[in-house]
Amino acid sequence: MSNFNRRKFLITTGAIALTSTLSFELAHAAGKKLIVGFLYVGPRDDFGYNQAHAHAASIIKKMPGIKMFDEEKVPETVAVQKSMEAMIRQDGASLIFPTSFGYFSPHVIKVAKKYPKVRFAHCGGLWTKGKHPMNVGSFFGYIEECQYLNGVVAGYMSKSKKLGFVAAKAIPQVLLNINAFTLGAQSVDPSITTRLIFTGDWSMPVKEAEAANSLIDQGVDVLTCHVDGPKVVVETAEKRGVMTCGYHVSQAKLAPKGYLTGAEWNWVTPYTTIVKAAQEGKPMINFLRGGLKDGFVKMSPYGASVSANAKAKADEIKNKMLAGKYPIFKGPLKDNKGKVIIPAGVIQEQTDIKLESMNYLVAGVMGQV
């Protein structure tokens, strides 16, 4: 209980009184460090989306010349506007990473217009020239490449030829992952199907468990998901003796037996690029995308149960992707209602911005948008 002595109390209150009024000046006087703020929508340790960001942020924190502040569980309301402003005004932050998609419009746009000298690097948004301020940028990764590789491994390992996908919402980013996963599996065996359940929101633990159980009851033997925290799905599958492919970060610890591999973010790469640009005084990077070959995404190490030929095939495709020679979406491609989406001979490159407005499910996915 050493915290209760009066001297310490006076010191801290005095320090707080000082920092609350002078923080801006102090921050700038303190050796020209770049002050960076990170905001996450969920908890830092969710075994998912937010953990991927928080982990990368902790690496940025150790970079020379950096002072880092972060906040978790910041809702996509006026709260995020105020937290960003507080980082700017109380900590002197000049680079902010608002990492949830829902922060972009209107919150980031509004605060960015108010503080034109501060840089805002938003994750997932689609920054458009002329429409959005120049001190804002958006970055994202082609995680569907990893989802495709997940599908390849799942395709080799599945005996029932039925795969399961628990998804949050029918939005382009999610549909892209479901389709890539399914196409990867079908590259192994075209008869493979993916059963799909939407839970309706990003963090719905009870519904995620119900969906996982229901899929397993339908005979699914490899399960994956796109929700904020894959913990519940992976643990449920492990308990029922079913294999899983992970998402966001590695969930191998949660499923030592059934974890095959996983699609992981490697946010350190875009973070570092953006931080360096700010440190060197270069203009804000307004649009930044990258996949496997750029180091924006990576695969979890293979689980012990993955067969040798599954590994060999997945590695072969991965090497092609690393060489930039493996587009996932190419004709002929039909959706699950029989409509031709991409005619034969047409290739949609990974960098095609049209992929970011996907609104269909490929043939073989049992579910609807």
Partner 1 sequence: MRIFLLRLTAKMLPALPTLCAIAGALLMFVVFLALQGKPALEACQLIYVGAFGSGFAWENTLQRAAPLMLTALCVAIPARTGLIIIGGEGAVALGGLACAVIPMMLPAAFPATPALLLMATAALVAGGAWIALAGWLRQYRGVNETISSLLLAYIALALFNHMVEGPLRHPESLNKPSTPPLPEEYLIGSLPGLDVHWGLFWGVLACIAMYVLVRHGVFGFSMSVVGGNVRAARLVGLPVNRIVLMACLLGGGAAGLAGMMEVAAIHGSANSALLAGYGYSGILVAFAARHNPLAIIACALVIGGIESSGSLLQRRLDLPGATTLVLQGLLFINLLAWESLTGWLGVWRLRLLETTRNPNRAVHA
From candidates 27, 58, 173, 311, binder to partner 1 by CB under 8 A: 173
User: Longest C-alpha distance within the chain, in Å?
Assistant: 78
Pairing of strands 259-265, 329-330: unpaired
From candidates 24, 27, 43, 55, binder to partner 1 by CB under 8 A: 43
Contact stretch for partner 1 (CB under 8 A) within 52-60, 170-178, 262-270, 308-316: 170-178
Cβ burial 60-90 (10 Å sphere, 16+ → b, else e): beebeebbbbbbbebeeeeebbebbbebbee
**Residue number with CB closer to partner 1 (140 or 156):** 140
**Residue number with CB closer to partner 1 (41 or 157):** 41
Asked whether the beta carbons of 250 and 52 are under 8 A apart, the reply is no
Q: What is the radius of gyration, based on Cα positions, of the chain?
A: 22
For residue 75, the minimal CB distance to partner 1 (Å) is 5
DSSP structure string for 87-137 = HHHHH--SEEEE-SGGGIIIIIHHHHHH-TTSEEEEES----TTTS-TTEE
From candidates 52, 54, 60, 87, binder to partner 1 by CB under 8 A: 87
Q: Which two tokens stand for residue 307?
A: 């067969």
Contacts of 6 (CB under 8 A, 6+ apart): none
Contact stretch for partner 1 (CB under 8 A) within 76-84, 232-240, 273-281, 302-310: 76-84
CA–CA gap between residue 254 and residue 258 (Å, rounded) = 9
Would you count residue 267 as binding partner 1 (CB under 8 A)?
no
CA–CA gap between residue 315 and residue 31 (Å, rounded) = 47
For residue 16, the minimal CB distance to partner 1 (Å) is 6
Residues 88-147 that bind partner 1 (CB under 8 A): 89-91, 101-102, 104-106, 124, 126
For residue 167, the minimal CB distance to partner 1 (Å) is 13
**Residue number with CB closer to partner 1 (101 or 181):** 101
**Residue number with CB closer to partner 1 (106 or 281):** 106
Give the residue among 221, 220, 238 at the shortest CA–CA distance from 47. 238
**Residue number with CB closer to partner 1 (14 or 241):** 14
DSSP secondary-structure letter at 75? -
Would you count residue 218 as binding partner 1 (CB under 8 A)?
no
Contact stretch for partner 1 (CB under 8 A) within 13-21, 145-153, 180-188, 298-306: 13-21
**Residue number with CB closer to partner 1 (207 or 313):** 207
Contacts of 19 (CB under 8 A, 6+ apart): 26, 90
CA–CA gap between residue 318 and residue 119 (Å, rounded) = 34
Asked whether the beta carbons of 199 and 167 are under 8 A apart, the reply is yes
Would you count residue 368 as binding partner 1 (CB under 8 A)?
no
**Residue number with CB closer to partner 1 (33 or 311):** 33
Would you count residue 356 as binding partner 1 (CB under 8 A)?
yes
312 CA to centre of own chain? 27
Residues 223-242 that bind partner 1 (CB under 8 A): none
DSSP secondary-structure letter at 42? S
From candidates 61, 172, 298, 317, binder to partner 1 by CB under 8 A: 172
Would you count residue 82 as binding partner 1 (CB under 8 A)?
yes
**Residue number with CB closer to partner 1 (126 or 317):** 126
From candidates 70, 144, 235, 264, binder to partner 1 by CB under 8 A: 70
Asked whether the beta carbons of 202 and 173 are under 8 A apart, the reply is no
Contact stretch for partner 1 (CB under 8 A) within 65-73, 214-222, 244-252, 329-337: 65-73
Residues that bind partner 1 (CB under 8 A): 1, 3-4, 9, 12-13, 16-17, 19-21, 43, 69-79, 82-83, 85-87, 89-91, 101-102, 104-106, 124, 126, 169-173, 200-201, 356-357
